[in-house]
Structures are given as C-alpha cells and as structure tokens.
C-alpha cells in the first residue's frame, strides 16, 4: 500500500470526467495519486503537474515513469496561466501529503521532533521558526485566529512571547510544550491534539496557502475550454468557503428580475456546479485514512453556451 493515500480519489477523478485526448492539470501533484488515475485514462492527452515541493516531484517522477505524456512544473499552481491555456480539466488537492507530515525534518508535524520549518518550497525564506520567534504579538494573534480558528490564541501567543524572551523556540516539540503550558487542564483533556490548530495556522501562513487559492480562483475560469472542469478538494473551512463562494459567483447571473424578458433573452450562466451538495469521504475512507476527515470536494463545469 502507498504510504500516501490520496483523499477522495475515485470521487474526484469521476467528477473530472477525463477525456482520453484531453489536456489536464494537477495543480497539487503531491505523491502522484490523482495524477496516476488521470494518466490511466489518457491516451493522446497530456497532463501538466505542478508542485512547490521538489522532493514530491522527484518521487512522483519515479511513480509515473511509465508515462511520457506528463510535464512537471516546480511552481505554485496559482501561476498555471503562465504555462497552460484552454485545458479540459484542473484538479486541486489542497491537503498536505502524508510524507510531508511524516518526515520530522520538514517540521509540519506536532507528533515528531524537528526544526520549525513547514516550507513546501525549500527555496522560500519564510519559515515557521521566523514567524514564531520574530513576528509581533498582534501578527501571531491574527494568524492563529484567522488561519487556525484557535479559541485560545491569546493565551498561546502570550506564552510564546514569554518563552522567546528566554531564547528562541527552535523545534516542533518545543512549540508543542509552550502551547500545552498555555492551555488549561480541561482543554488538554479534550479529544484531539492541543497543537493542531496552531500548526495548521503556521503552515498556511508559511506557504501563503489562502493567497495562492484566492489568486487561482480569480483566474482559473479563463483557462477552461468548453465543457472543461475544475475539481477542488479542500481541508479547511476557510478554503472551502472561498471555493464555494467563487463557484457560486461563476454559476449565477445577476439580472433584474423585474424586467420582462423572452426566454431567448434571458442570460444563462457560463458555468454549472457539478455537485450542489458538498462531497465528503465515506465512513470507510475516514476509518482507513483519518487525515481525510475534514476533506470536502466541489466541482464546476464550463458549459457549451454560445
């Protein structure tokens, strides 16, 4: 079994409705799970794969070595309009791949001791260490509240500011201990890891994840061919809200209903939702892969109007 299990794999590929001669983009290659499924359905088509993590690209190249119709691009998916246009489908899986979580040296996990890094792109300058040790109290509060939706952000930030006066907070486990010291016992006894929300917030801030998604959502529709599809798997309520709102905007026509119009004069939206109700993992998938629990899948199709 693969170490990394692609979330909502079959549901996402089914929604993408891959044409054998189509042009597709996997904006978040990861370890190539979704890409492999797309390539299995392509014959004369082509797949463009984006990822910020060079190690992920190298590992996926090995996994997908039997396919010659793949182009690998070490860049942020928000920049895909620099490389492609008129594509038949775009897939985004906004989650962090399991190997990134499981490699202590990457600093993503609160379960393993490693440096406070969290960079998907190792060429970037901003690290979790820099945020924790150099950002102001106000900046940290904003990050933990907005990106982590952490209820105890104020207490945690105060404890961080207190601790870093004694010396830098350098490792993931050091940060976990600081977080635990800030929280009351009744919170520590609750189900779930006490550092989860803070680590999530830091990861989003380090990698500018919401900025990337916002940029992509504002431009991806210009890349879709007629009948082209965009399928997005999100893992965070803010991400899902952004996707839902943008998809609604693209599938809604704002017209004055007080003015009578003939049927042929009524403007039709250029896009349609592929699912009105958000798709979530099955009980079986959540049991096999607990990291899939917060996943949500939404899709959009460009129609053949005009």
Verify that 41 and 92 share a domain, yes or no. Answer: yes
Residue 50: which of 7, 5, 8, 82 has the closest Cα?
Answer: 82
DSSP bridge pairs for 48: 25, 71
If you ran DSSP here, which 8-state letter would residue 231 be given?
E
CA distance 126 to 204: 12
Length of the chain: 306
**Claim to verify: residue 34 and residue 71 sit in the same structural domain:** yes
Any idea what the CATH number is for the domain that residue 276 is in? 3.40.50.150
Co-location of 66 and 34 in the same domain: yes
What is the model's pLDDT at position 289?
A: 87
pLDDT given for residue 54 in this prediction: 92
Domain boundary among 149, 181, 206: 206
Note whether residue 114 is domain-resident. no
In a domain, 283, yes or no: yes
Plot region of 30 (φ>0 → left; ψ -120 to 50 → alpha; else → beta): left
Whether 306 shows a pLDDT value over 50: the answer reads no
173-195 mean pLDDT: 93
Q: 65 and 78 share a domain?
A: yes
> Residue 1's pLDDT is what?
34
The backbone torsions φ and ψ at residue 172, rounded to the nearest 5 degrees and listed phi first, read -65, -45
Could you tell me if 93 and 214 lie in one domain?
A: yes
Q: Are residues 152 and 229 in the same domain?
A: no
Of 206, 225, 240, the domain-final residue: 206
CATH number assigned to the domain comprising residue 171: 1.10.150.170
Q: Do 23 and 170 fall within a single domain?
A: no
pLDDT of 97 reads 75
Range of the domain at 202: 125-206
Quick one: pLDDT band at residue 207, thresholds 50, 70, 90?
very high
Per-residue DSSP letter, 14: H
Asked whether residue 188 falls in the same domain as residue 226, the answer is no
Choose the weakest-confidence range: 37-46, 152-161, 256-265. Answer: 256-265
How many CA atoms are closer than 13 Å to the CA of 252, on its beta-carbon side? 8
List strand residue ranges (DSSP E) for the chain, in order: 23-26, 46-50, 70-73, 87-93, 224-234, 271-273, 296-302
The pLDDT score that the predictor gives to residue 101 is: 77
Q: Is there a domain that residue 104 lies in?
A: no
Domain for residue 2, yes or no?
no
Q: Which helix (H) or strand (E) holds 181?
A: helix 172-182
Tokens representing residue 146 in the block:
């907005």
Whether 52 contacts 207, CB under 8 Å: yes
Please report whether residue 3 resides in a domain. no
pLDDT tens by residue, 54-102: 999 999 999 999 999 999 999 999 999 999 999 999 999 997 777 777 7
More confident residue, 148 or 265: 148
What's the whole-model pTM score? 0.90
Residue 248 — φ and ψ, nearest 5°?
A: -65, -40
Q: Please check whether residue 200 lies inside any domain of the structure.
A: yes
State whether 151 and 292 are in the same domain: no
Confidence (pLDDT) at 268:
80
CA distance 23 to 47: 6
> Are 69 and 39 in the same domain?
yes
- Which single residue is written with the structure tokens 């890349």? 223
* Mean confidence (pLDDT) of the chain: 92
Say yes or no: 31 and 67 in one domain: yes
Residue 263 lies in a domain: yes
Q: Look at the chain and report how many structural domains it folds into.
A: 2
Encode pLDDT of 4-20 as tens digits: 568 899 999 999 999 99
Last residue of a domain, one of 206, 235, 254: 206
What are the residues whose beta carbons fall under 8 Å from the beta carbon of 152, sequence distance 6 or more?
Answer: 182, 183, 187
Residue 94, phi then psi, degrees to nearest 5: -80, 5
Report yes or no on 273 lying in a domain. yes
The 10s digit of each residue's pLDDT in 236-268 is: 999 999 999 999 999 998 765 666 666 666 678
State the Cα–Cα distance between residues 221 and 46, nearest whole angstrom: 19
pLDDT of amino acid 264: 63
Q: Choose the most confident range, by mean pLDDT, from 39-48, 258-267, 286-295.
A: 39-48
Same domain, 91 and 169: no
Q: Provide the pLDDT confidence category of residue 204 given band limits of 50, 70 and 90.
A: very high
């Amino acid at each position: 079994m693969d170490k990394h299990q692609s979330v909502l794999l079959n549901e996402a590929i089914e929604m993408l409705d891959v044409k054998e001669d189509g042009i597709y983009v996997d904006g978040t290659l990861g370890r190539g799970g979704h890409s492999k499924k797309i390539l299995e359905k392509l014959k004369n088509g082509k797949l463009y794969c984006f990822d910020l993590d060079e190690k992920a690209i190298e590992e996926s190249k090995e996994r997908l070595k039997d396919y010659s119709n793949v182009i690998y691009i070490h860049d942020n998916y928000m920049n895909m309009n620099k490389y492609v246009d008129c594509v038949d489908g775009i897939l985004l899986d906004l989650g962090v791949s399991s190997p990134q979580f499981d490699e202590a040296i990457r600093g993503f996990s609160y379960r393993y001791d490693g440096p406070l890094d969290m960079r998907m792109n190792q060429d970037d300058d901003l690290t979790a260490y820099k945020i924790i040790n150099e950002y102001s109290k106000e900046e940290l509060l904003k990050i933990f509240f907005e990106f982590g939706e952490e209820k105890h952000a104020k207490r945690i930030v105060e404890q961080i500011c207190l601790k870093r006066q004694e010396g830098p907070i350098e490792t993931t486990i050091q940060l976990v201990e600081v977080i635990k010291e800030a929280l009351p016992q009744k919170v520590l006894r609750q189900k779930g890891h006490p550092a989860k929300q803070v680590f999530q917030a830091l990861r989003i801030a380090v990698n500018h994840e919401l900025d990337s998604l916002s940029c992509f959502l504002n431009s991806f529709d210009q890349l879709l061919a007629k009948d082209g599809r965009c399928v997005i798997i999100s893992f965070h309520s803010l991400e899902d809200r952004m996707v839902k709102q943008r998809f609604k905007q693209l599938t809604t026509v704002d017209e004055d209903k007080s003015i009578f119009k003939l049927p042929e004069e009524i403007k039709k939206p250029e896009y349609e939702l592929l699912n009105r109700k958000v798709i979530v993992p099955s009980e079986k998938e959540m049991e096999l892969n607990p990291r899939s629990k917060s996943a949500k899948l939404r899709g959009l199709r460009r129609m053949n109007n005009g």
